[in-house]
Amino acid sequence: NTQRHFDKANAVTHDFFTGVVKGAASAAVAYLGVSGAVSAFNDSIDNLASLDDMAQKTGATVETLSRLQKVAIMTGTEFGNVDSSITKLAKNMAGIDDESNKTFKALEALGVSSVDAAGKLRDPAEVLIDVARGLQKYEDGAGKVAIANDLFGKSGAELLPYLNDVN
C-alpha cells in the first residue's frame, strides 16, 4: 500500500516537472520569437534612417535608394560603395552645365539626361539606373570603364559588376 502511494507521488511529481519543463520551453520559444521580431523591426528602422540620411545627402528618393540597396544585397555589393558613387554622380551632375565636363560627355554617350523636362536636375539614383541600363549595352572593355570612371570617379570600374545587375 505504501509502495503504491510512493509510485503515485512519483508519477504526480514527474507529470508536474514535465509540465514545468514544457512551459519553460514554450516561454523560451515565445521570447525568442518576440525578441527576433523586435530585432528585425529595429533593423528596419535603422535601415530606413540610413536611407533617409543618404537621400538628404544625394537628393535621391528613399524609394529609389531602397531599390538599389536590394540589388546590392542580392549581388553581395557593399552598399556604401553605391552610396559614394551616387554622391559623386550627384556632385558631378550639379556642375554639368559645362559641356566640357566629363560627366556631361559620359551621360551624352549613354543617351542619359541629367535634367528633367522642366530643366531641373533629376534624382541621381534614377540617373544611376539609366546609366546602368546604358552601360549594359556596351561591350566590356576600356571604353565602358572610361565612362564609368568619368561618372563615378576611380571606383567606377569596381561598380561595373553591380551596374550590370541594375535594371
Reported as a single tens digit per residue, the pLDDT across 27-64 is 767 666 766 665 655 556 766 678 788 888 888 889 99
**Does the global pTM surpass 0.85?**
no
Helix count and strand count (H, E) for the chain: 7, 0
Using CA atoms, how far apart are residues 101 and 5, in angstroms rounded to an integer? Answer: 96
Q: Say what percent of the chain tops pLDDT 90.
A: 32
Q: Which three cell numbers stand for residue 161?
A: 559588376
Is pLDDT at 137 greater than 70 in this prediction? yes
Is pLDDT at 131 greater than 90 in this prediction? yes
Opening angle at CA 156, ends 69 and 60, nearest 5: 40
